[in-house]
Amino acid sequence: RSDRCPSVNSRVCSCHFIDGLKENNPTIFSWNKEKTFLFVSPEKRNKRKPKPISKTLVANKEVLPDELDENTSEVASQSDIEIESQMNLYESTKHSEENSVLHLNVKSVGSIIDESENALLKIEIERLNSTINSLKKQPFSFAFIEDNDEAITYYTGMPNKTVIHVLFDIFKNVSINYFLRWNVERISRTDQIFMTLMKLRHNFDFTDLGVRFGCSRTTVTNIVLTWIHAFHTIIFKTFMNSVPSQQKNKACLPSVFNNFVNCRMILDCTEIYTAIPSKMELQKLTYSNYKHRNTLKGLVGIAPNGVLTFCSLLYPGSTSDKEIVKHSGVIDVFNSGDLILADKGFLINDLLPEGVSLNIPPFLGAPQFTPNQVMKTLTIARARVHVERAINRIKGYSILEFITPKLVPYASIIFQV
């Protein structure tokens, strides 16, 4: 302690001795090493060096041998305490310096890590800003709905992500000549196909699609007309250039066709509303007595399993079913032994090749049908319902609900696509 000097009567607690043994010499608690202070011996305060203790007098008094031993041990104890204090102070100072250096090194490493993280964050911020800017320029994209099969079906009519990606892969490396003779590069090819499918499915206005995809109306027109022609050239002409044979149809024949095992195709016509032409002659040609409106008429043929196998061009609404069959070329695909199912309006027996038969519902020649005629009508109707369902799937694309005057020149291509 700094306020008092040890004396002969001073005592040190046994806790300061290692293992409580006196011969181990006193030491300082480890938790008090940082709190040590220098003890200045009273002897060092004197400028004169102390005389060596021997048989001399201390304070004009002769020192007895016993007292000399006690004084000698007292001075030795004070020296040991002083040396111990100096050593503890040195170790404490050294430990503090090491901690300072270590703290400095840790701080330097931490600052380097912070700088690296800041650099990475800046790069990420720049990337996100670039993405945001691109999204601002193009508010809508296929990437927004790519993982949502329900949204894909709603916007495009495709059943799921896998099917539409097959379509993307078909046109991945195809060279495209744009309809208006200038290329569209700012919108990706995937989004161009997606835009065209949206037009076919929902018949969105060109201006609407321009706002959705961040481009002009003219650009949308260029994209849609280009890809409609591309679909027609690559998909329709490639996959619809042949009709499944009778043997293939038998491999997947539904039970309702048990009475028509030789059926090759089911035929039916459908009509699509169109704008009233400006010319009187065209008004007369497109007017349908069945729909009582101006329409365009097309022929559809399906296999017994419901797969669409034939699709004709569109003809004026006043054209008869027989004339459409004659000019569409569908008769050329049939072989001897094939059977055609059709509606009453298809009076085409004189057009059929030799060996090809036609099965249509009977006409009412009496006040009422006979039981056999009723059963025949029901049997044919159960089989013919498949073509009606196929036509409903085709008309599920809203662009075929009404053909605008600007799209009339491309109506047949749209219908076949």
| Domains present along the chain, CATH in parentheses | 1-30 (no CATH), 143-240 (no CATH), 246-416 (3.30.420)
What is the pLDDT at residue 60? 43
Residue 296: which H helix or E strand, with range? Answer: strand 293-302
C-alpha 197: how far from its chain's center? 19
HSE-CB for 96 with a 13 A CA cutoff: 9
Nearest to 191 by CA among 215, 173, 175, 207: 215
What is the pLDDT at residue 106? 54
Residue with the larger pLDDT of the pair 28 and 410: 410
What is the pLDDT at residue 71? 47
User: Cβ(299)–Cβ(269) under 8 Å?
Assistant: yes
User: Cβ(202)–Cβ(398) under 8 Å?
Assistant: yes
Highest mean pLDDT among 70-79, 129-138, 226-235, 345-354: 226-235
User: Cβ(358)–Cβ(352) under 8 Å?
Assistant: yes
In the structure, how many helices (H) and strands (E) does the chain have?
A: 13, 8
Beta partners for 297?
Answer: 271, 315
Q: What is the DSSP string of 45-109?
A: HSSSPPPPPSS-BSSSSBPPHHHHHHHHHHHHHHHHHHHHHHHHHHHHHHHHHHHHHHHHHHHHH
User: Cβ(315)–Cβ(306) under 8 Å?
Assistant: no
Nearest to 190 by CA among 154, 144, 235, 121: 144
Nearest to 38 by CA among 89, 74, 78: 89
**pLDDT class for 117, splitting at 50, 70, 90?**
confident
Q: What is the pLDDT of residues 298-331, one digit of tens each?
A: 999 999 888 899 999 999 999 999 999 999 989 9
Query: In the predicted model, is pLDDT for residue 153 greater than 70?
Result: yes
What is the pLDDT at residue 191? 92
Q: How far apart are CA 70 and CA 61, in angstroms?
A: 15
Q: How far apart are CA 66 and CA 4, in angstroms?
A: 25
**pLDDT class for 57, splitting at 50, 70, 90?**
very low
**pLDDT class for 173, splitting at 50, 70, 90?**
confident
Q: What is the pLDDT of residues 61-83, one digit of tens each?
A: 444 444 444 444 444 455 555 55
**pLDDT class for 115, splitting at 50, 70, 90?**
confident
Beta partners for 103?
Answer: none
Q: What is the DSSP string of 160-178?
A: SHHHHHHHHHHTTT-----
Q: What is the pLDDT of residues 36-53, one digit of tens each?
A: 555 455 554 555 555 555
Q: How far apart are CA 392 and CA 402, in angstroms?
A: 15
What is the pLDDT at residue 54? 47
The DSSP call for residue 19 is: G
Report in angstroms the alpha-carbon separations of 306 from 196, 345, 392: 26, 21, 12
User: Cβ(408)–Cβ(227) under 8 Å?
Assistant: no
Q: How far apart are CA 355 and CA 335, in angstroms?
A: 7
Q: How many CB atoms lie within 10 A of CB 296?
A: 23
What is the pLDDT at residue 323? 92
Report in angstroms the alpha-carbon separations of 270 from 149, 247, 287, 377, 384: 30, 28, 14, 21, 14
Q: How many CB atoms lie within 10 A of CB 415?
A: 22
**pLDDT class for 59, splitting at 50, 70, 90?**
very low
Q: What is the DSSP string of 35-51?
A: G--PPPPHHHHSSSPPP
| Alpha helices (H) in 287-356, listed in sequence order | 321-328
Give the CA-trace dihedral at 225, 229, 231, 234, to 10 degrees: -160
